[in-house]
Structure 1
Amino acid sequence: MGDSEEETSPDLLKNTPSNIARLEDVIENSKGRQKYLAQTRSPSDGGDVRWYFCKVPLLPNEPSASLPRTEIVGKNEYFRFGMRDSLAIEASFLQTEEELLSSWWKEYAECSEGPKEQPSSSKKLEKQPSLASSEITLSSQLYEEEERVGVPVKGGLYEVDLVKRHCFPVYWNGDNRRVLRGHWFARKGGLDWLPLREDVAEQLEIAYRSKVWHRRRFQPSGLFAARVDLQGSTPGLHALFTGEDDTWESWLNVDASGFSGVISFSGNGIKLRRGYSKSQSKKPSQEELRQQKEEEMDDYCSQVPVKHLVFMVHGIGQRLEKSNLVDDVCNFRHITASLAEQHLTAHQRGTQRVLYIPCQWRKGLKLSGETAVEKITLDGVRNLRVMLSATVHDVLYYMSPIYCQDIINSVLLILFPISHLLFPND
């Protein structure tokens, strides 16, 4: 019983030196970890793995293996997880690596065959359910969420499902985001190393373990190197390995006939590296600075316990296309953290923190009156109707005795379960 309580203790989620050392020890003692350690003295050889999550949410029913579209992850498309989060994900990954890789390659093969037709979902009832039926629906939703357990990240606000390669929010309904394991990297201009897609990285890893640079030949370009043809979305993609017995260098290149405008090659190609390496730029870009701030925020949330809970409840306009309460709350969280650094002492910031949770009550709420408005709307004024429905109509619904109660119920059904989960004794 004591071991079980210790494994689930919230203190183990903190980004403390002892927890970092514990996760590193778990990884180093894992059998699967041994094959990822550096096997040569090459400066391009490393064993550090970093996990990433995509900034753009996945579309409904979109498989993770279909992204990214190109072999090299586009700059500014993915964010790194913080060090502690990345170690926690990697430790969990190595425990069931064979099963996870098998599941991912199966999904990748299905994506290669082309998209499959999804069965059409049955139409939802137009009538808004009562509070009792809404509670039943909420209970089933909570039950489904309990079944979907992943690795806690970002201060416990999100979890990572390694089977589906998803990062999803815990306390609100949100989109899934693609999770990527960075093991092989490419330097695509500048001084930053960008992760390669897993299928390309695995092919490079097989070539690395077989020490392919021992089988060098003169290439048409005159370079004395070993060529490894790679299966990917770019025709003619290949890697060139040069080196001696205990050192090597490699580049990603493409045949002239398969030149792609997505990837630009020069000279021998794009330099490759095995294992994560920090940016060597003395003047980091704004995106890199934002990345560092995000990691600092995640590390802070992992260390400091939650003492105050604030629900960010939106007003009208959340049904507009560009409205995103989650991003707004994230920006608010960064602003308050910056203010706390200016006006609070280190002791005050280190003993407690405020947890901000978005309450998106409108996007999932379907009011019966909206159906009638949609039916009588002319095509020529549909855009105007959408804007009015997302703004002015919400005010009228709230002023109505019937719809006002539906709105209140929608908000309460989100607030109460989350409060109970975070503070069960209060």
Structure 2
Amino acid sequence: MAAPVNPLLNSVSREADHAPQGLQPALLLPLTQTDTKELGPTLPVSSFDHVDLQAPSSTEGVLLSDPLPSYTPLSGSTCSSLTAPAQTAPFTTPPASPQNANFLPAQSTTVLPPSFENMAASGVGESYHPVLHHWFYCAEPQGWKPFTFSDSFNLEEAFMQGSAEPVATEGGRHDVYIQDRVRKPVYWEESESKAVRRCSWFKKSALDQHPQPYTEEQSALLEEEYRACVTSGQWHRQVNLPDGDKVMIHSPRAIIHYVGAGLEGEYPTAVSVNGSQAPLTVRRGTEDFEIEDGECEQVDHLLFLVHGIGSVCDLRFRAVEQCVDDFRKLGQNLLSTHFKQSKEMGEIGRVEILPISWHKALHGDATGIDEKLKPITLRSIPKLREFTNDTILDVLLFNSPIYCQHIMDTVASEINRLYALYCKRNPGFSGPVSLGGHSLGSVILFDLLSHQKADSEESSTDGVSSTTDDHSHCDKNRANSMTSPVDYLMGASGTGQPSVAYPKLSFKPEAFFLMGSPIAMFVTVRGIDTIGPDFVLPTCKRVFNIFHPYDPVAYRLETLIDPSLTNVRPVLIPHHKGRKRMHLELKETIERVGSEFKQKIVDSIQGTWNRIYQMYSGTSTQASIGEQVDEALASQLYLGEEEGPPSTGSGELAITVGRLNGGRRLDYVLQEKPYESFNEYIFALQAHVTYW
């Protein structure tokens, strides 16, 4: 009975009539022209990466009739290579695949084509080049993500020098401690430090979106065995990992990781022994990753963003720090696409955005509000009640003089702290600083900026307000009686913030950006119908109210200043690709054509009725009727410009809206997506968090 042949070799050599019983088939190397006439048909070879052939110096007329060497890993060794017996040709074979164990050999001899020797020998004698290491950090749940090229270079340089100092990465927002292999944020706090790894070898399953790196010890072991394979020219090397897995190095491009391979020599191909997953593909180096070059070191503008209610900011339940990361990347992409030439020439830098979080301080141990709410909260529908206490209740807490003071102190002190820390770490920064707020965060900043003092007011006062002002008078008799008197001060923002001392910011904002802001609603509820055209923020001269058309929380500011501007549409923000979206242009065209057609019908009916009345009254002549017909035809053929205020050419009407934004427009509306226009109510909740 013929012995099975390794299925990785698709060409099998056997003698048709002279193969001794009990021996493996004879393997023929290329023979002379006369000898090949007696041989059978030749089968193609399709898998060369799994074969390592060392041909003798003279291949003419060589017949290998001895059995092929079997693959037997060396027991007790981490790695083992294949060696052929002395009496046989130096030909190595990989382990047989279990599902092809019953493969029946062909009953004819086969001659190896000349191309087989060239391709099999392509992995032999290659020069070894050390792998380039790249630094990664753990970013759950996405897995491991690579640092930029510039950050990885700085980390590698610090690693080679054995530096114990933290290395600033990602624009200085995170510090990496090389010796501890951890990554910590600079401007905010995280519950756990992220792990950092120096990577060179990676594994990937069919379910993984990105390859996952091996540990540094495993990568060093694989690299050492790979070097041995390249320098010796002997492949099909087995590497036993400390966790029980096995890695087979067949060629530079064929490396397989077997999970839970079990006993020596057992190599499952479909499902691992523990039933977890199929064999993994192994990659050397970072060819499968798209790694960015790095952020621009020049910072032209600094922006602080304050979140709204709740601890999460979008429908993916991400914190404000994660949302700001996407917000920052979006700004960098727009700079690269719309200001590419200026960016390449170094004329512009980037915008640094830092988050301001106040929710944790409000619901922490300092206030104890969560513990106070537990006894009075019903036990039914616990998830919904927990959501209400954690998010919607923030609006009521803001309107409470006790907790409003805590929110104001937290936001102001956090802004001042981050600004001082940023200037300390970036002493060369001299650009403008702006503030931005989403939802309730914009109301907090509006009240804070409304109570800032201008330079003239500060010079006329004896003391200077700061974040360390004495707020003891705000807590007088509040904890003892629910009917204790409270002094409601009528100010520019109404009566909604009684007995609150507003801290002072350590800088003057360049601009104030509002996203989905309910400021106008809060001011109206406080008893103020209009703030008037003379209303300004003492230390901030530019205000932009940005909102989505379907956002149920957003309100306009222009009509709060001047109610006569109700029919004036907000400024439509251009799409980043230019112009307007197609469905908006179509909608406006239909509205314009419809209104013109309706007006023409009305004018035509009215003109016809007047002519008929004139004819029967006898006051009309044939000449006057002809003149009226000519006028009607001319009016139908003439297409004039739309009536309305003049435009500036960018979609913004040239009208003056108070002093809040220096007389310029305040309300800016985003363009909704085509599928959002089908039903406004379905995408209302999504519209409120779409700004990130």
TM-score by length of 1: 0.57
Q: Distance in 2 between matches of 1:41 and 1:404?
A: 74
Residue 90 in 1 paired to residue 156 in 2? yes
Tell me the residue number matched to 2:215.
197
Q: Distance in 1 between matches of 2:361 and 2:275?
A: 41
- The Cα shift of 1:342 comes to 4.5
Q: Which has the higher contact order (CA 8 A, sep 6+)?
A: 1
Q: Which amino acid aligns with 1:239?
A: V
Q: Which amino acid aligns with 1:408?
A: M
Tell me the residue number matched to 1:28.
none
Structure 2 regions of 5+ residues with no counterpart? 1-123, 264-271, 428-506, 508-692
Residue 230 in 1 paired to residue 241 in 2? yes
Q: Distance in 1 between matches of 2:276 and 2:380?
A: 39
The answer (yes or no) to whether the contact 1:182–1:196 under 8 Å persists in 2 is yes
- The Cα shift of 1:160 comes to 1.2
Q: Which amino acid aligns with 1:54?
A: C
Give 1:153's match in structure 2, choosing from 128, 146, 169: 169
- The Cα shift of 1:47 comes to 2.2
Quick one: structure 1 residues 45 and 248, their matched pair in 2 at CA, closer, same or farther if it must change by over 3 Å? farther
Q: Distance in 1 between matches of 2:382 and 2:210?
A: 46
Quick one: structure 1 residues 89 and 262, their matched pair in 2 at CA, closer, same or farther if it must change by over 3 Å? farther
Q: Which amino acid aligns with 2:349?
A: Q
- The Cα shift of 1:45 comes to 4.8
Residue 80 in 1 paired to residue 146 in 2? yes
Structure 1 regions of 5+ residues with no counterpart? 1-39, 58-75, 101-148, 217-223, 280-287
What pairs with 1:281-296 in structure 2 (closer than 5 Å)? Answer: 291-292=290-291, 295-296=292-293
Residue 334 in 1 paired to residue 334 in 2? no
Q: Which amino acid aligns with 2:309?
A: I
Q: Distance in 2 between matches of 1:85 and 1:215?
A: 36
Q: Distance in 1 between matches of 2:419 and 2:384?
A: 38
1:248-304 Cα distance to aligned partner (Å, 9 max, x none)? 975433525663444422xxx73453xx2423xxxxxxxx6xx55xx25xx2x2x34
Quick one: structure 1 residues 385 and 413, their matched pair in 2 at CA, closer, same or farther if it must change by over 3 Å? same
Tell me the residue number matched to 1:370.
370
What pairs with 1:60-71 in structure 2 (closer than 5 Å)? Answer: none
What pairs with 1:259-338 in structure 2 (closer than 5 Å)? Answer: 259-265=273-279, 270-273=281-284, 276-279=285-288, 291-292=290-291, 295-296=292-293, 299=294, 301=295, 303-318=296-311, 322-338=317-333
- The Cα shift of 1:228 comes to 2.8
Q: Which amino acid aligns with 2:174?
A: Y
Tell me the residue number matched to 1:253.
258
- The Cα shift of 1:401 comes to 0.9
Tell me the residue number matched to 2:638.
none
Q: Which amino acid aligns with 1:354?
A: V
Q: Distance in 2 between matches of 1:390 and 1:248?
A: 53
Quick one: structure 1 residues 412 and 41, their matched pair in 2 at CA, closer, same or farther if it must change by over 3 Å? farther
Quick one: structure 1 residues 93 and 381, their matched pair in 2 at CA, closer, same or farther if it must change by over 3 Å? same
Tell me the residue number matched to 1:416.
416
Tell me the residue number matched to 2:354.
357
Q: Which amino acid aligns with 2:301?
A: H
- The Cα shift of 1:193 comes to 6.0
- The Cα shift of 1:344 comes to 3.4
The answer (yes or no) to whether the contact 2:311–2:319 under 8 Å persists in 1 is yes
- The Cα shift of 1:227 comes to 2.7
Question: Tell me, what secondary structure is at the counterpart of 2:407?
Answer: helix
Quick one: structure 1 residues 173 and 43, their matched pair in 2 at CA, closer, same or farther if it must change by over 3 Å? farther
Q: Which amino acid aligns with 1:368?
A: G
Q: Distance in 1 between matches of 2:126 and 2:204?
A: 16
1:131-162 Cα distance to aligned partner (Å, 9 max, x none)? xxxxxxxxxxxxxxxxxx52111111111122
Quick one: structure 1 residues 240 and 323, their matched pair in 2 at CA, closer, same or farther if it must change by over 3 Å? closer
Where is the helix percentage greater, Structure 1 or Structure 2? 1
Q: Which amino acid aligns with 2:179?
A: V
- The Cα shift of 1:369 comes to 2.8
What pairs with 1:35-50 in structure 2 (closer than 5 Å)? Answer: 42=126, 45-50=129-134
Tell me the residue number matched to 2:405.
405
153-162 or 172-181, larger mean C-alpha shift = 172-181
1:25-80 Cα distance to aligned partner (Å, 9 max, x none)? xxxxxxxxxxxxxxx964885421111112217xxxxxxxxxxxxxxxxxx52211
Matched-pair identity in %: 26
Q: Which amino acid aligns with 2:302?
A: L
- The Cα shift of 1:358 comes to 0.8
Quick one: structure 1 residues 43 and 318, their matched pair in 2 at CA, closer, same or farther if it must change by over 3 Å? farther
* Coordinate RMSD, CA, aligned: 3.6
Tell me the residue number matched to 1:54.
138
Quick one: structure 1 residues 396 and 347, their matched pair in 2 at CA, closer, same or farther if it must change by over 3 Å? same
388-397 or 183-192, larger mean C-alpha shift = 183-192
The answer (yes or no) to whether the contact 2:125–2:233 under 8 Å persists in 1 is no
1:351-388 Cα distance to aligned partner (Å, 9 max, x none)? 33211001112124322332110233343343222111
Question: Tell me, what secondary structure is at the counterpart of 1:159?
Answer: strand
Question: Tell me, what secondary structure is at the counterpart of 1:376?
Answer: coil
Which structure's CA Rg is the greater one? Answer: 2
Tell me the residue number matched to 2:396.
396
Q: Distance in 1 between matches of 2:410 and 2:211?
A: 45
Quick one: structure 1 residues 364 and 179, their matched pair in 2 at CA, closer, same or farther if it must change by over 3 Å? farther
The answer (yes or no) to whether the contact 2:134–2:286 under 8 Å persists in 1 is no
- Tell me the number of residue pairs that the alignment of Structure 1 and Structure 2 aligns: 285
Quick one: structure 1 residues 42 and 81, their matched pair in 2 at CA, closer, same or farther if it must change by over 3 Å? farther
Q: Distance in 1 between matches of 2:230 and 2:276?
A: 27
Give 2:194's match in structure 1, choosing from 167, 177, 188: 177
Q: Which amino acid aligns with 1:355?
A: E
Q: Distance in 2 between matches of 1:43 and 1:308?
A: 50
- The Cα shift of 1:212 comes to 9.9
Q: Distance in 2 between matches of 1:414 and 1:159?
A: 20
- The Cα shift of 1:313 comes to 0.3
- The Cα shift of 1:417 comes to 1.6
The answer (yes or no) to whether the contact 1:44–1:272 under 8 Å persists in 2 is no
Q: Distance in 2 between matches of 1:251 and 1:159?
A: 36
Q: Distance in 2 between matches of 1:252 and 1:182?
A: 17
The answer (yes or no) to whether the contact 1:188–1:271 under 8 Å persists in 2 is no
- The Cα shift of 1:341 comes to 3.8
